Chain A
Amino acid sequence: MNALLLPLLALPAIGIVSLLLFRRARVLQWLLFLLAAGALVATAALLYGRWELSAGLSLGVATLGFRNTPLGWLFFAFSSGLTLFIALFSLSYNDRRHSSGVAPLWMILLAATMGIFFAGDWIAFLVAWEIMGWTSFFIIAHGRESSFRASIYYYTLSLIGTAALLAALFTVWRLTGTLDLDGSLAALAALWTAQPGAVTLVALLLAVSFLAKSALGPFFMWPALAHAEAPDDFSAYLSGVMIKYGLFALVRLVLPLFGPAYAGATVQGTPVFLYILGWIGGLTAVWGTLLAVRENDMKRMMAYSTVSNMGYILVALSVNTVFGVAAALFHIFNHMIFKGTIFLSLAAVKYRTGERQLHRLGGLAYRMPVTFFAFLIGIIAAAGIPPMSGFASKWMVIQSLFSRRMLLLAVPVLFASTASFMYLYRGLHGIYLGQLSPRFRDVRPAPPLQMLAMLLLMLAVYAVGTFPGLALLPIRDALAGLQEVIGAGGVGSQIPVTLGTIMGVSSRINLTTVSFVFLGSFIGVLVLYLLGKRRSRVEWLDTYTAGEDPAEWNMTPEQYHYAYRFYEPFEKMINPLLERLSLERAYESLARSFRRLSGSVARALSGGGAGVAVALLALAVILIVGVAR
């Protein structure tokens, strides 16, 4: 048993044991969870560089193969690091009043995550994918009625994804005769001239599965439900790690199909299939942003923001160069840390206030300064503004588009990136600034452990923003082995990067300089500020009201907090568009017809007697036999 297999088996075992033994002592469960997260980080350190390591788990009928690859390791290391910060937060968050009791399941999920990243064959990948699906289903539901509905929604999409994945697995086996991931992918990539239709089918089935997981394209709506209803600390994991599985799988399983052996049609140098995916990504980015702008629930807003970020990443992947993949991986990493920071900050707010609606919050920065700064740093990074992380990766996404002259696709990306300022600022204003409600006058700052987790993440966001090489150098090393698998050589086949600089297509930037320029400007302005005459502090209701006293016309701070329907003029502009193109309505009508169908089948089975049942069964048997032959 080696370092690869041990956590895969030990984590679920510890999870089940802790579920059975410590049902009354939930703090112990969370302590174990923290230890497990720490152990994963240690495992990541152990596994680094040992790329020959592999393990097999024999289950009698099949053997699950796992292999340590640079790409899998990269995702594993990044996600384990984030998990450790979240575990630190969770230990404090899950006290007597807020405990969700999901720690044992979460430990099994950690093992499944590791399984996905290190899967060496299709069976192992599928098994890990399924375990991930149902553990997260139970975690999102966590014993609440409203959460359960969101969870069903999430699971239905997961099932669609799994069905597509299973179909892809069978097709791959049929075409190549092997279930080994690398072997079958190489065999498939060589089939472009002989059987282009079959390879496209595999790519399509896989894409459906992975787009569903990463909430891309027509699957954009599950995060808003699942992220919002999941336990607050788990939302950070959902948005930070879980939604990236689909993107990881796209890099691992779909991009290699479009390697140098690709012989089909191309648009601007990238395969048609990927070009379409790129536009799906670009439109997802715009769509998620527009939905986030008009959202009044803080967790749903940030969930839509996650959707739009997934869109950018898909755009970068569609370029199909090593530089593009590096941009995608870098944005995945940045999104992990800044969205983790944002969701932890929201969790801390919910922990202290129990509120989620923007217009019912307000002014919390004056009571929870560290939480506020975590959110601020997070949104600066999310907006892609230097000197925080997020700018560099968005810049790389744009540069990767430049390298193929895919400039029209850059338009939706830049639109989404600019419009993201709107909802990010709205969150900042609605939750943390403006008027402090008297209900929250005595709110205390977040507990020390929660603050520690947020501070560490803030530091990471700033450090990567100033020294992008901290993340990009490992990414470059991980991609070194993929040179011959991904895309056409030549343009963007290298990632020229040092600790502070990135060499793009249209220019070269030094993020360290940019960061110091901003810091220097800030110091200069601070001097100006100090030169000015001293300021005095006044209360928040003591504002300009054209000579009226708000108290005299019974104005309370809550009424004075402008947060509800913040962008009403903008909503008026976009609502007709959003309503006309509403996918939810299409899904609802689909659901209605399914209900009718299932109702008539049920009636036929119960009323029509055994004849119909026998006929259906016979049909099924005939189908199975026919396919098997």
Chain B
Amino acid sequence: MSVLKSILAGFAAMAVGLFFMGVGRQISARLQRRVGPPLWQPYVDVIKCFARKSTSHHFIMDLGSMMGLAGLVAAATLLPVAGWLPFPSGGPLIVILYLMPIGYLGMAMGVSASGNPLAAIGIGRALTLMVGYEVPFAILLLSIVAAFNTSLLSVMAQVQSGGLGTWNAVRMPLGFIAALIAMQAMLAEKPFDAMIAPAEIASGPMVELGGKFLGMAFLQHAVSIYVVTGLVVNMFLGGAASVPVFFLKQLVLFSLTMGVNGIFARFRIEQATAFLWLSAGSLALVQLVLNLILY
């Protein structure tokens, strides 16, 4: 039974993530005064990608692409959605934060095996940026542990279930701002998209991907949108009482991200990392110290 539920959770993550992507493209289009693609366009894209011929350089490339998606799907099955989980895990935040990198490293390994230097440059940037956003995010985890002594997402959501005043976004505003900045970088949206930089390094990691490899990269991005926004909803926006409300909160967060994406230019990678440490990192650190004193 829990196997079936897990499969359901995996597909839901992909489907919801793709829907968010569709909304995101609409937002970008409207900000640029275009009509934009229809909401179902990402689904069509993925299906089309899987139906097309593709090329690969070695089976390590195939393996890496699969590891990339699998890591994020595994993280998605551990994410509590309005308290619902496919199997009783409680939503261990540390495990999720360490399962997501296997996705990124799998992707990295796959595109490295393609031998394209542009891909390697992109991955180098992505990993540099990862140090930029993971450290503030980890400090946020610590500040929540300082306050409630738990690293389980479901418990975090429960603690905040008493209405707007109990939300961590209200109780820990500095931490929430840090989380929003880190989230922007986690989703690789502008100004933190130097690793993709289409005009500069030809989409970086994605440069050699075609057909179903590109399709899996799309799905990976969709699931990462789902997981990252889900983490922030559970950590700061009080989780949700029902599944649609949860998705709605995720969508609001993602729309915000896409709005920022639409109006900013790109940071160079060392600027982006330094900015993340100085802004999100120091905000999160102040929040941690505050929580250590207050709770």
Q: How far is the CB of A110 from chain B (nearest CB, A)?
A: 36
**Contacts A434-B120, A526-B66, A533-B50 given: A365-B138 contact, CB under 8 Å?**
no
Interface-side segment among B93-101, B158-166, B174-182, B235-243: B93-101
Q: Say whether B78 faces chain A, with CB atoms less than 8 Å apart.
A: yes
A529-B131 in contact (CB<8A): no
Which residues of chain B are within 8 angstroms of A422 by Cβ–Cβ distance? 127-128, 130-131
Partner of B115, one of A426, A509, A525, A541: A541
CA distance A518 to B75 in the complex (A): 8
| Residues in chain B near residue A518, CB distance under 8 A | 70-71, 74, 99, 102
State whether the Cβ of A586 lies closer than 8 Å to any Cβ in chain B: no
- Kindly list chain B residues whose C-beta atoms are within 8 Å of the C-beta of A569: 125, 128, 268-270, 273
The reply to whether B56 and A525 contact each other, CB–CB distance below 8 Å, is: no
Assembly CA distance A514 to B91 (angstroms): 11
> How far apart sit A538 and B208, CA to CA, in the bound complex (Å)?
11
Q: Which residues 478-522 of A sit at the B interface, judged by CB distance below 8 A?
A: 505-510, 513-514, 517-518, 520-522
- Residue from the list B3, B49, B66, B131 in contact with A522, Cβ < 8 A: B66
Q: Which residues of B contact A514 (CB under 8 A)?
A: 74, 95, 99
Partner of A532, one of B77, B211, B292: B211
Q: Does B230 contact A (CB under 8 A)?
A: no
Does A418 lie at the interface of the complex (its beta carbon under 8 Å from any beta carbon of B)? yes
Interface membership of B183, Cβ < 8 A: no
Q: Which residue of A lies closest to B213 (CB)?
A: A535
Q: Which A residues between 356 and 411 are near B, CB-CB below 8 angstroms?
A: 363, 365-366, 372, 376, 380, 383-386, 391, 395, 398, 402, 405, 407-408, 410-411
Is A570 on the interface with B (CB-CB < 8 A)?
Answer: yes
A513 to B86, CA, bound (A): 12
- In the complex, which residues of chain A have a beta carbon less than 8 angstroms from the beta carbon of B108? 425, 429
Contact B112 A429 (CB under 8 A): yes
**A573 interface residue per 8 A CB criterion:** yes
A425:B95 contact, CB within 8 angstroms:
no
B125 touches A506 (CB 8 A): no
* A interface footprint on B113-148 (CB within 8 Å = 1, 0 otherwise): 111111011011101101100110011001101100
CB-contact partner of A533 in B51, B124, B125, under 8 A = B51
* Most central of B57, B62, B69, B289 by chain A CB within 10 Å: B57
Contact yes or no, A421 B58, CB < 8 A:
no
- Judged by a CB distance under 8 angstroms, whether A22 is at the interface is no
**Would you give the shortest CB distance from B58 to chain A, in whole angstroms?**
6
A569 to B112, CA, bound (A): 19
- Partner of B55 from A507, A535, A570 at Cβ < 8 Å: A535
A522 to B117 Cα, complex, angstroms: 27
Contact present for A405 and B292 (CB under 8 Å): yes
The residues of B that contact A428 with a CB separation of less than 8 Å are: 109, 112
A470 at the interface (CB under 8 A from B): no
Query: By the criterion CB–CB under 8 Å, are B270 and A402 in contact?
Result: no
Known: A383-B101, A529-B62, A561-B117. A411 touches B139 (CB 8 A): yes
Could you give, for residues 184-212 of chain B, a 1 whenever the CB lies within 8 Å of some chain A CB and a 0 otherwise?
Answer: 00000000000000000010000110011
A376-B109, A421-B127, A434-B112 known; A386 vs B208 contact (CB < 8 Å):
no
| Contact for B212 among A372, A533, A546, CB less than 8 A | A533
Asked if B32 is an interface residue, CB under 8 A from chain A, the answer is no
Q: What distance in Å separates the Cβ of B116 from its nearest Cβ neighbour in chain A?
A: 4
- Does the CB pair B99–A546 fall under 8 Å? no
A569 to B267, CA, bound (A): 12
A537 pairs with B124, CB closer than 8 A: no
The CA-CA distance from A148 to B231 in the complex, in Å, is 53
Known A560-B117, A569-B270, A570-B270: A419·B145 in contact at CB below 8 Å: no
Given A528-B216, A572-B270, CB of A537 within 8 Å of CB of B150: no
Q: Give the complex CA separation of A404 and B123 in angstroms.
A: 37
> A508 contacts which chain B residues (CB < 8 A)?
90
Docked-complex contact B115 and A540, CB < 8 angstroms: yes
A531: interface (CB < 8 Å): yes
Restricting to B36-61, which residues have a CB under 8 Å from any CB of A? 49-58, 60
Given A425-B108, A524-B10, CB of A402 within 8 Å of CB of B149? yes
CB distance from A608 to the nearest CB of B (A): 58
Q: Is there a chain A Cβ closer than 8 Å to B22's Cβ? A: no
A415 at the interface (CB under 8 A from B): yes
From residue 569 to 599 of chain A, which have CB atoms closer than 8 A to chain B? 569-570, 572-573
Q: Across the interface, name the chain A residue whose C-beta is closest to B203.
A: A544
How far, in whole Å, are A125 and B58 apart by their CA atoms in the complex?
Answer: 53
> Do A535 and B7 form a contact, CB below 8 Å, given A434-B115, A544-B207?
no
| Interface status of B6 (Cβ within 8 A of chain A) | yes
Is A309 in contact with chain B by the CB < 8 A criterion? Answer: no
Complex: A557 Cα to B273 Cα, angstroms: 31
Known A-B contacts A560-B117, A573-B270; the reply to A386 vs B95 at CB < 8 A is yes
Counting CB contacts under 8 A, is A566 at the interface? yes
B88 to chain A, nearest CB (A): 9
B66 interface neighbour in A529, A535, A570, Cβ under 8 Å? A529
Q: Contact partner of B114 among A376, A528, A543, CB < 8 A?
A: A543
Return the chain B residue nearest A435 by Cβ.
Answer: B115
Measured between C-beta atoms, what is the minimum distance from B99 to chain A in Å?
6
Q: Indicate whether A433 reaches chain B with its CB closer than 8 angstroms.
A: yes
Nearest CB on B from A428, distance (A)? 6
**A572 CA to B121 CA in the complex, in Å?**
16
Tell me which residues across on chain A come within 8 A of B67, comparing CB atoms: 522
What residues of chain B lie closer than 8 Å to A385, measured between beta carbons? 98-99, 101-102, 105
Contact indicator A517/B150 (Cβ below 8 Å): no
> What's the least CB distance linking B175 to chain A, in Å?
13
Which listed residue (A418, A532, A534, A542) contacts B134, Cβ 8 A? Answer: A418
B150 A507 Cβ-Cβ under 8 A: yes
Interface flag for B151 (CB, 8 Å): yes
Evaluate contact between A532 and B70: CB separation under 8 angstroms: no
| Nearest-CB residue, chain B, relative to A538 | B55
Smallest beta-carbon distance A510→chain B, Å? 8
Q: Does B248 sit within 8 A of A, measured CB to CB? A: no
Contact status B7-A532, CB under 8 Å? no
Contact A521 B273 (CB under 8 A): no
Please indicate the chain A residues that have their CB under 8 angstroms from the CB of B60 in the complex.
Answer: 365-366, 372, 433
* Interface flag for B23 (CB, 8 Å): no
Known: A428-B109, A562-B121, A569-B268. A524 touches B7 (CB 8 A): yes
A58 proximal to B (CB < 8 A): no
On whether the beta carbons of B57 and A538 are closer than 8 Å, the reply is yes
B81 at the interface (CB under 8 A from A): no
Asked whether any CB of chain B lies closer than 8 Å to the CB of A567, the reply is yes
Question: Is A539 an interface position by the 8 A CB rule?
Answer: yes
**Which residues on the A side are within 8 Å of B53 (C-beta)?**
533-536
Q: Are A529 and B99 in contact, CB atoms less than 8 angstroms apart?
A: no
Q: Which residues of A have CB within 8 Å of B202? A: 544, 546
Query: A414 an interface residue at 8 Å Cβ cutoff?
Result: yes
Task: Take A418-B135, A506-B149, A534-B53 as given contacts and tell me if A521 and B73 are in contact as well, using a CB distance cutoff of 8 Å.
Answer: yes
| Residue numbers in B under 8 Å from A421 (CB-CB) | 101, 105, 127, 130-131
B103 to chain A minimum Cβ distance, whole angstroms, is 10
Decide: A537 near B57, CB < 8 A? Known: A429-B112, A521-B77, A525-B66: yes
Contact A395:B94 (CB < 8 A) given known A405-B292, A425-B123, A524-B7: yes
Which residues in A have their C-beta under 8 angstroms from that of B21? none
CB pair B56–A521 under 8 Å, yes or no, is: no
> Contact: B6 with A536, CB < 8 Å?
no
Given pairs A365-B113, A386-B98, A544-B116, 20 additional interface contacts (CB within 8 A): A380-B102, A384-B98, A407-B288, A408-B292, A415-B138, A425-B123, A433-B109, A507-B90, A507-B151, A513-B87, A520-B74, A521-B69, A521-B70, A524-B73, A525-B216, A528-B50, A529-B62, A529-B66, A543-B57, A557-B115
Q: List 19 A-B contacts (CB under 8 A).
A: A384-B98, A402-B151, A407-B146, A407-B288, A408-B288, A414-B135, A418-B130, A418-B135, A419-B131, A434-B112, A434-B117, A514-B74, A517-B78, A518-B70, A528-B69, A535-B55, A536-B53, A544-B202, A567-B124
- Shortest 9 CB-CB contacts between residues of A and residues of B: A532-B212, A540-B115, A433-B112, A562-B117, A414-B138, A506-B151, A522-B70, A521-B74, A569-B270
